[in-house]
Amino acid sequence: MIQAVSDHHFLNINDLTDVQINDLIELAERFKAGTAQVRLVRPVYAANLFFENSTRTHSSFQMAEKKLGIDLIGINPADSSVKKGESLGDTLKTLQAIGVDIAVIRHSQTGWYDQLTSDPNINLSLVNAGDGSGQHPSQTLLDLMTIHDEFGQFTGLNIGIIGDLAHSRVARSDAEILQRLGVNVFFAGPREWYPADFDQFGTYCDSIDDILPHLDVVMLLRVQLERLNQNAVAAFTPNEYYRTYGLSEERAQLMKQGAIIMHPAPVNRGVEIASSLVEAPKSRIFTQMRNGVFARMAILATLLNQRGLLEE
């Protein structure tokens, strides 16, 4: 078992070394192949706190926890004391006091964990299931696993991340680590949704048509209307977005042989991608979802090992 997390938390995959990331991918692959098994030294309890809606990430963590033998404490943040004004820190201390070992949290606040990790009274493990427009480390790990499954390595691959870059924690989390692993990263999408600091991770291109023939991976992003202001929502036209940035069947013909399509989902069919392409031979969208369970098993097992909760 590897030591791939620091301070018994898993918050930002970009804090890990290349070796630690490769070890996590290898462990996820072994869970997928059925060659890795773990046994707990005592009952372990986890709480999943999703302050934002989620189908894939929430259920994927639940499945990973069940497969590892972790008992879940059912909490709905909408019904919790947070609604009465309790801070997230005090909620975590409460869970810790009743015996919870791991808290998996999705929150709209970017960097929700920044103050919590320095609190000496919080000892349970924190897992970031997505923070605002910051990081989405478990999604990034499953994306890396999916790309590694396909190509066997990362160096020299051309990967295009296309769409709503400004509001996507997936884009930020993925772009940084992909660039570090030797990938040539390209961005495309509305210029007003392109953060200038992404220049350090790759190259922005005005036209999706210019880069498609060169890409090994076409990674599409969901348009996050819920994060736009009213004026931006009113100005957004799905048909115009699809015409300019969507992966249509005609555009898919520009992709080179062997290239794959990825999307973190949920997918807006007919906006970011033609409905017929979602389950097309080049698509790995549902493969990403399947890999998510094994990637999250690797994350949780590594945390459990670091806390001494796994048998040798």
- Known binding residue 265? Answer is yes
- Known binding residue 214? Answer is no
- Known binding residue 139? Answer is yes
- Known binding residue 135? Answer is no
How many angstroms separate the CA atoms of 191 and 35, rounded?
Answer: 46
3-state secondary structure 157-196: CEEEEECCCCCCHHHHHHHHHHHHCCCEEEEECCHHHCCH
- Known binding residue 222? Answer is yes
- Known binding residue 227? Answer is no
Q: What is the DSSP letter of 16?
A: S
How many angstroms separate the CA atoms of 211 and 259, rounded?
Answer: 12
- Known binding residue 307? Answer is no
Among candidate residues 141, 92, 97, the one with its CA nearest the CA of residue 117: 92
Residue 297 is inside which H or E element, if any? helix 285-306
Cis ω for the linkage preceding 266 (within 30 of 0): yes
- Known binding residue 263? Answer is no
- Known binding residue 196? Answer is no
- Known binding residue 9? Answer is no
- The residues near 157 (Cβ < 8 Å, ≥ 6 apart) are 147, 151, 182, 183, 184, 216, 217
- Which residues belong to the annotated binding site for L-aspartate? 84, 169, 222
- Which residues belong to the annotated binding site for carbamoyl phosphate? 56-57, 106, 136, 139, 265-266
- Which residues belong to the annotated binding site? 56-57, 84, 106, 136, 139, 169, 222, 265-266
